[in-house]
Amino acid sequence: MSGEALSGAVDGAALERLAVELAVAAGGLVLHERPARVDVHRTKSTDLDVVTLMDTRSEELLRSRLAAARPHDAVLGEEGGGVAGTSGLTWVLDPIDGTVNYLYDLPAYAVSVAVVRGDPTVPGAWAPVAGAVASPRTGELFHGRSGGGAWLSRLDGDGALTPAEPERLAVTDADDLGQCLVATGFAYDREARRGQAAMLCDLLPRVRDVRRAGAAALDLCHVAAGRVDAYYERGVQPWDYAAGALLVLEAGGRVSGAAPGSPASGDMLVAGGPAAHAVLRAEVERLAPAL
């Protein structure tokens, strides 16, 4: 995955505007129509991997609007799977990233919308074009496009975009692992967590501190905004990081897998400012056999 502009006649600005519109609309839905009691609608990979009815409703809203606005594009959503297209573009949707947070009414959840060129199911075979991540409880909207920078806009109390000027985002220049604030996340598989815990136990004494927000898209946005220096996680899916990874790149950062030159994937994603990414990636590569 690179931050270079894509070839071909793609109106990145228009796609960014649509991504923003979609993320804001779905964010408003999940914020304002959240029932007083949120129940688990179903589970997926494990009993910990939950889906609420609002996940489904949010994705249905995103898909219906995309079908009207971009009928020739493909769609890949966390809940509804893939729909083929003919344009070479695919919309990658996470209707609620941080569903467990949403279940418990914790504010760290978001709607992530990205459009990419290539096949997002194959690591390294796609590149982001535009994306937006709406965090309705915090009133923040992170957005950008390839070659256009990464930006933070504000949402009002109703979840609508305010007219305030966007703030340009930039990663930190941290270069000492011992001074890095590092974000991470954990798998839904209980056994996989044993290896992740072993990696964390090795890293924790050697970094400034560790944060676990519970939403990969927001972790990446926080890297882009300089709120954390770096982030790593195993088990992420394209819908978790397609938009957030674009924002890190456009904020001057790096995104990769564990091995030098490898793409981000479910095996591992490492993101950060250039120097923080380099030192953390090397550590993750060293520790990865424990996973």
- In angstroms, the CA 3 to CA 10 distance is 15
- CATH 3.30.540.10 in the chain is located at 12-168
Report the chain's mean pLDDT, rounded to a whole number. Answer: 91
What pLDDT, on the 0 to 100 scale, is given for residue 195? 87
- In angstroms, the CA 225 to CA 166 distance is 12
Residue range 218-232, pLDDT digits in tens: 999 999 999 999 999
Residue bearing the bigger pLDDT, 290 or 98: 98
Residue range 148-189, pLDDT digits in tens: 999 999 999 888 889 999 999 999 999 999 999 999 999 878
Collapsing DSSP states into helix, strand and coil, what is residue 209?
Answer: strand
What pLDDT, on the 0 to 100 scale, is given for residue 290? 64
- The one-letter amino acid at 19: A
Entry field: residues in the chain: 291
Check if the beta carbon of residue 223 is closer than 8 Å to that of residue 271: yes
CA torsion, ordered 3, 82, 39, 192, to nearest 10 deg = -60
Say yes or no to pLDDT of 45 above 80.
no
What pLDDT, on the 0 to 100 scale, is given for residue 81? 79
Q: How confident is the model at residue 2 (pLDDT cuts 50, 70, 90)?
A: very low
- CATH 3.40.190.80 in the chain is located at 177-290
Q: How confident is the model at residue 53 (pLDDT cuts 50, 70, 90)?
A: confident
Say yes or no to pLDDT of 144 above 80.
yes
DSSP 263: P
Residue 243 sits at the vertex; the CA angle it makes with 239 and 248, to the nearest 5 degrees, is 130
**CATH label, 12-168, candidates 3.40.47.10, 3.40.630.30, 3.30.540.10, 3.30.9.10:** 3.30.540.10
CATH class of 177-290: alpha beta
What pLDDT, on the 0 to 100 scale, is given for residue 7? 42
Task: Count other C-beta atoms under 10 Å from residue 4's C-beta.
Answer: 10
Residue range 62-87, pLDDT digits in tens: 999 999 999 999 999 987 778 899 99
